[in-house]
Structures are given as structure tokens and as C-alpha cells.
Amino acid sequence: MIDFLTKYQEVFAWSYADILGLDTSIVKHFLPLDTEKFPPKRQHLQRQQADLLLRIKEEVVKWIDAGFLEVCNYSEWVANIVLVEKKNGKVRVCIDYRDLNRTSPKDNFPLPHIDVLVDNTTHHA
């Protein structure tokens, strides 16, 4: 596995700058929301420790520079940031989208069983 990963290391992104964006003429995402049942919600601001605020800001600036985020001055939806500390001391910045997820209609098709997925994957290796 190590040999394989080393041989094809140029296809992996090692930083946000290495990840190329998708052309919006090819791929565009739409999130259907049932705002009649669930009106837009702004979560109450959760306080963060001062030292963690700087780490959050650094990560958000990286996301904006990479083109993953755009600045939005007035949003109907506001979700809190949740920090998860990693073993190496870095933090993973996550967003609490539970309120937003409730408004999105559920898909009406069953997911395949995990055993079927694993079997299908091993046959194509």
C-alpha cells in the first residue's frame, strides 16, 4: 500500500491550495429545504476560548483563500462552530448543521448493505 501511495502521490492533495475547485458549469449543488415546516434558524452564539478563536480564524481564512467558503453578510441560517482537538494538538473545525439537516427532506431509497459494498469493492481491486 505504501508503494502504491508513494507512486501516485501527485494525485493526492497535501494542502488546501492543492485541491482544485470544480467548474460550476459542470457541477452545481442544490440543497432542498422544507422551510414551511422548519423556518430558518439562527443558533445562539456559543462562546469560545480566546486562544481557540485565533485557531478558528486561521482555519476559516485558509478555507476562504482556497475558495471553499464565500463571505455572506446576511444569512438566514447561522450554525455554531464546534472544535474537536486532535491527538497531535491541532484542532478540527466542524459546523453544527443539525438544524439545517432537519429541514432537508430525507431520501426515499434504501442504502445498500455494507457487506454488499465491501464485496463489490473487493472484486474491483
Any idea what the CATH number is for the domain that residue 60 is in? 3.10.10.10
- Residue 70 in domain: yes
- Model's pTM, two decimal places? 0.62
pLDDT at site 125: 56
Task: Tell me the per-residue pLDDT of 7-59, one tens digit each, with 9 for 90 and over.
Answer: 988 888 877 777 776 676 777 777 888 888 888 888 888 888 888 888 889 88
- Residue 78 in domain: yes
pLDDT at site 67: 80
- Cα distances from 17 to residues 14, 21, 37, 105, 118, in angstroms, run 8, 10, 40, 34, 32
- Residue 18 in domain: no
Within 8 A by CB and 6+ apart from 77, the residues are: 40, 41, 42, 99, 100
Residue 56 structural domain: 24-123
pLDDT reading at 124 higher than 70: no
What's the number of domains the chain is made of? 1
